Amino acid sequence: MIKEGHFGFMEAFSVMAIVLVTKIFYGSPMALIKYLGTAAWYGTLISLVGALVFFTLLYLLMKRFPQEDLFQIFETVTGKIIGKALILTFGVFLIYKAGINLREFTAVLKVYSMPFTPPSMIMLPFLIVVAVMAYVGLEGIVRVAHIFFYLVFGALVLIILLAIPSYDFNYLQPILGYGLGKTVQTGLIRVAAYDEIVLLAIIIRSLQGLQVFKKIGYLTLILGGLTFSVCLICILAAFQYTVGGEHLSGMYQLSRAIYFTRFFQRIESIFLFVWVISSVITVSFIFYISLNAYSRVFNISNHRPLILPFIFLTFMAAFIPNNFAEIMEIHLRVLREFSSVIFIFIPVMVLGLALLRGKKGVETSGKA
């Protein structure tokens, strides 16, 4: 098994918070506003409630097997072969997720900032950083995340505050958006937007116990949900549901709208900095977990020789979409609406199976 080291509450909290929140910089607000209109800001809170329920189930599963991480639980509950198949499914999906996230980053960066740079020239340096971070390992990734956590959230808060003159909260009306039914339905489907929280269960053995796992899970979900909701309120208040549903990156547009006299404007470069850092951390973390999954399946104790092949796979995955329409309408929908089939359904199914079969892990005291 790969040695992943141990880290504290803030490190794990930071990495999970960044992984959850990075989506707000890209097309997520646009998609949500398009589906839910003026109700987008609380539609995401409905998703949050769904995610909290899921995390409670995940916590119950982890509590049942206190000495094991999620992958080990898969094997314990479903047996070696199915367990490994489930882990491999996670691994493959995570590589796909890393690739699509990278492609979304590249596509949006090309639109807003680097129109003439070939996508591969944006992706390759990005992937080299990802490879270095994966080489250093999980502990390195979470410590980097901790350092940049304050910067990422600080910059986000700064942009939201500086754009205050652009807001008119009357534009949050009609309050029910396209109807309560649609809001609840979409909110529940988009629980997937928060399903990366399952990754916390994979790195649980690096945390300081189940209680820390529980605390980090709930807090990051709440922080992520509130961040999403506040950002959506700001985008709606500034651009209304009509234009808010058009912008590729609502938050970037918000940063471009900041204007305080002739001397204080064009501060979107702050946003670009935050955007790149949070994307690098997110892709690195997801990439590392996929490496971890593969190593587990094939009992590889050193993940480092796998880094280059996996980088290549991520690079390939990033090129699956042909154009921006495919990224938005196929791949991001898969990631943000249907990924719950893997990230939520499988752990819940395993919990159900464990309860049915009466399987339990080894207690700290040594009892089975």
- Interacting residue ranges for another protein, rule: CB under 8 A: 37-38, 111-118, 121-122, 124-125, 128-129, 131-132, 135-136, 168, 170-171, 173-179, 239-243, 253, 256-257, 259, 262, 265
CB of 38 to another protein, least distance (A): 6
DSSP code of residue 2: -
Q: Rounded to the nearest whole angstrom, what is the least distance from the CB of residue 259 to another protein in the complex?
A: 6
* Beta carbon of residue 222, minimum distance to another protein (angstroms, whole number): 28
Residue with tokens 């988009």: 190
Q: What angle do CA 293, 299, 301 make, to 5 degrees?
A: 90
Q: How far is the CB of 284 from another protein (least distance, A)?
A: 12
| Token pair in block for residue 22 | 């990075």
d(CA 194, CA 34): 19
Report the residue number, 98 or 197, with the smaller CB distance to another protein: 98
Q: How far is the CB of 326 from another protein (least distance, A)?
A: 19
Q: Which is nearer to another protein, 206 or 255 (CB)?
A: 255
- Name which of 8 and 140 has its Cβ closer to another protein: 140
Of residues 119, 134, 112, 86, the one with CA closest to residue 316:
119
Residue number, 136 or 341, with CB nearest to another protein: 136
Instruction: Say if residues 197 and 221 touch (Cβ distance below 8 Å).
Output: yes
For another protein, the closer CB: 109 or 344: 109
Question: Which residues 6+ apart lie within 8 Å of 326 measured at CB?
Answer: 320
Q: How far is the CB of 294 from another protein (least distance, A)?
A: 22
**C-alpha–C-alpha distance, residues 141 and 133, integer Å:** 6
Residue 320: is it exposed, middle or buried by C-beta count within 10 angstroms (0-12/13-18/19+)? Answer: middle
Residue 77 φ then ψ, to 5°: -80, -45
Nearer to another protein, 116 or 298 (CB): 116
Q: Which is nearer to another protein, 135 or 150 (CB)?
A: 135
Q: Which is nearer to another protein, 46 or 199 (CB)?
A: 46
d(CA 184, CA 343): 20
Least Å distance between CB 239 and another protein?
6
CB of 269 to another protein, least distance (A): 13
List the structure tokens of 363. Answer: 């207690």
Nearer to another protein, 168 or 326 (CB): 168
Is residue 250 within 8 A of residue 239, CB to CB? The reply is: yes
**Greatest Cα pair distance in the chain:** 70
The one-letter amino acid at 22? T
Q: How far is the CB of 333 from another protein (least distance, A)?
A: 22
Contact 267/255 with Cβ under 8 angstroms?
Answer: yes
Beta pairing class for 259-260 and 264-265:
antiparallel
* DSSP H helical ranges for the chain: 9-21, 28-36, 40-64, 70-78, 80-112, 119-136, 138-162, 180-189, 198-202, 210-244, 250-256, 268-297, 307-318, 324-326, 332-333, 340-343, 345-357
